[in-house]
Chains A and B, each alone.
Chain A
Amino acid sequence: AQTVTQSQPEMSVQEAETVTLSCTYDTSENNYYLFWYKQPPSRQMILVIRQEAYKQQNATENRFSVNFQKAAKSFSLKISDSQLGDTAMYFCAFTEASYQGGKLIFGQGTELSVKP
């Protein structure tokens, strides 16, 4: 069974600095998708970034980028120039590419606090 592990329950960073959130996953599949979702205090789940496993290039969305290490089954999120609005719970999620049922498997989450 696929699992997603986020080993950092809480992290904090000073405004304008860079922070990296860790995620590891376990699967026997070769093709899959990985995601980072942000959940601010409002509790809405907001997609931050997506990575296709068949793409070697790391995904980037403005200040957010990932370090995807397929062999190590690692998918970390880097937030550059952290802003107060980045304060949220961040979830790493996985799904098989061959699976069409929409079943995302989530990690436990990392609560990020950006301090002024």
Chain B
Amino acid sequence: EPEVTQTPSHQVTQMGQEVILRCVPISNHLYFYWYRQILGQKVEFLVSFYNNEISEKSEIFDDQFSVERPDGSNFTLKIRSTKLEDSAMYFCASSERDFTGNTIYFGEGSWLTVV
């Protein structure tokens, strides 16, 4: 069964460093998303992306965050200058068409630890 894959599975970085989390969505999917889950808390929406632009972003997704689809397969989340509070599991997800009536499939997550 096709799946969303994410790398790295775990990354430790120093505060202030830039981090890029990578995702390969399901191949025929057109809509891409990032969510995050701080340990012990709810899963929170960060951003959705379609047709090479952001469709929607949450208040969490400030200027420190950016997303990009640099080629036909990868979808990346960049955090420019990491803060301790950015430590979380980051989930990439994708859906085949617009979300109405369609299911979002999640990757296994990238666990980011900022020290």
Contact = CB atoms under 8 A, between A and B. Distances in A.
B81 interface: no
B87 to A, nearest CB: 14
Q: Tell me the interface secondary structure of chain A in the complex.
A: loop
Contact size range, B: 20 to 34
Contact of B45 (A98, A105, A107): A105
Contacts, number: 67
B100 A100 contact: yes
A15 interface: no
A52 interface: yes
A104 B45 CA distance: 7
Contact of B42 (A47, A101, A107): A107
A109 B93 contact: no
Contacts of B18: none
B45 A103 contact: yes
Contact size range, A: 20 to 34
Contacts of B31: 102
B107 A104 contact: no
Interface of A: 33, 35, 37, 42-47, 50, 52, 91, 93, 95, 97-109
